[in-house]
Structure 1
Amino acid sequence: MVSSTCANCDSMLEQPWHLFYTCQFAQACWEISDVKNEINQSPAELESFAEWFFHILGKLDMERRQSFVMTLWGIWHSRNERVWNNTSPSANWTMSHANDTLKEWLACNVDAGFDTEKRSFAVGMVVRDFNGSFIICKTSLHHGTALVKEAEALAIHEALSWIKGMGHDKVIVESDSKTSVDAIHSEAPDLTEFGLITTACRVLSRSPSSIKIDYIKRQANRTAHSLVKTALQQACFGISYIVPTSISSIIMD
């Protein structure tokens, strides 16, 4: 039976607020993290893990949010190492392991665009590593009409299929279509065309389970948006291993 006492310090009741924040081991991890200042400046009136989590999250940009979340994961992973494998990871090992794991992940931004005159639409996707460096991109043209949400969902589906085909299993797919992302994460039945696409996305994302689908704001999705826009304007589609000029300034930004 697993003890109710915190495995990382063996002195306090294991609750989220303690395990991830007030525990001496957690504090040692945060002290060598990229978000040390935000953690140390946490308001004293915060009384729950949820309040603290969302307060810190609201103070960070996208890259440092990833570091914050991976530190939480590292603390939990070290707890499991103690409970199940009878090891004693140090704070330095925990942070190094969390950072190495984070760097294995890729980000894939996706978007869709329309050419109403030609009754067609295009989807595009840009894959980058943790540091934001370009790896590969793809655009494709689809003839016929579709609702905006259907095209956005198709962009996600095509990205998932493409990623799986390349053998990547640690990828975060990012879309600025909140409607599509929410539908993919929902279990509510939907027999419309849109619902069938989002269901297919859900199935693809679950195998492997390490592929994630997240919503991001339009401004954060400029790379994929510019890629699709230029592909439609130039009627040029395909895969590129070189940064296209249409997104080079954004990639370097």
Structure 2
Amino acid sequence: MDCPSCHLSAKSIFHCLVDCPFASQCWRKVGFQLNAGETSIFASWFRSSLCRYSKEESARMGMMCWAIRKGRNDLIWQQRHSSVDETVNLAKHSLDQWINAQEFDKQPPIGMIVPGDGSEHWVKPQENTIKVNVDASIAIGRGTFGLGWVARDHTGLLLEVHGRSRNGVVTPEVVEAMGVKEALSWIKSKNWPSS
């Protein structure tokens, strides 16, 4: 199968995220020197690259891979072409949001906290239990919505992540309810022991 972006090479993870001309332009735009000649296996390339970069650069690198992959998925499934600038900006913005979410000591002023507005911080579940958080989103104008959930153990370790995208126009209340229903069905299929 040809690459949906450059239509040249056979599709592989390494080609999609590193070797494709579009991906290479993205990497150059953010200033990463890719030593792609060392291997054509993505996992080997990524592992060796992480050894060369700082923790912050490694995080940027991981988010860049995610943004390139998301752009390719948008091209395949929605026929929406992302520019190099859009892809790089998405990676930077998403990483900034992720870093912000990790800084638990950053508390907004008391007057700014409104229950249910997303300002609350995630709390670990009780020992020997698993916590599943559910969220949903609506892509206004595209006629699609997304459902997603994550499962973490009592130490905060991420166990599994699942997400789905569907076509349709729904209200926020309906899509949130659908997310909870899907997550509950998934939990039931796990046969986790109750404690």
Q: What interval of TM-score do these two structures reach, taking the shorter chain for normalisation?
A: 0.5 to 0.7
Distance of aligned partners of 1:53 and 1:46 in 2 relative to their CA distance in 1, 3 Å threshold? same
Q: Structure with the greater relative contact order (CA < 8 A, sep ≥ 6): 1 or 2? A: 1
**TM-score, structure 2 as length reference:** 0.57
Distance of aligned partners of 1:44 and 1:10 in 2 relative to their CA distance in 1, 3 Å threshold? closer
1:65 match: 58
Contact 2:13 2:42 in 1 (8 A): yes
Partner Cα distance (1:7, 1:169) in 2: 41
Structure 2: give runs of 5+ residues left out of the alignment.
109-114, 136-148, 159-195
Partner Cα distance (1:169, 1:74) in 2: 27
Distance of aligned partners of 1:214 and 1:53 in 2 relative to their CA distance in 1, 3 Å threshold? farther
Counterpart pick for 1:96 among 62, 83, 89: 89
| 1:43 Cα deviation after fit | 6.4
Partner Cα distance (1:13, 1:94) in 2: 22
Does residue 24 in structure 1 map to residue 17 in structure 2? Answer: no
Which secondary structure does the structure 2 equivalent of 1:104 belong to? helix
Residue-by-residue CA offset, 1:148-180 (whole Å, 9 max, x unaligned)? xxxxxxxxxxxxxxxx97725998x9xxxxxxx
Partner Cα distance (1:169, 1:82) in 2: 35
Counterpart pick for 1:46 among 25, 39, 61: 39
**TM-score, structure 1 as length reference:** 0.45
Off by >6 Å, runs of 4+ in structure 1: none
- State which structure, 1 or 2, has the greater radius of gyration over its C-alpha atoms: 1
Structure 1: give runs of 5+ residues left out of the alignment.
109-125, 128-133, 138-163, 174-183, 185-194, 216-253
Aligned Cα RMSD in Å? 3.4
**Greater CA drift, 84-93 or 21-30:** 84-93
Q: How many residues align?
A: 135
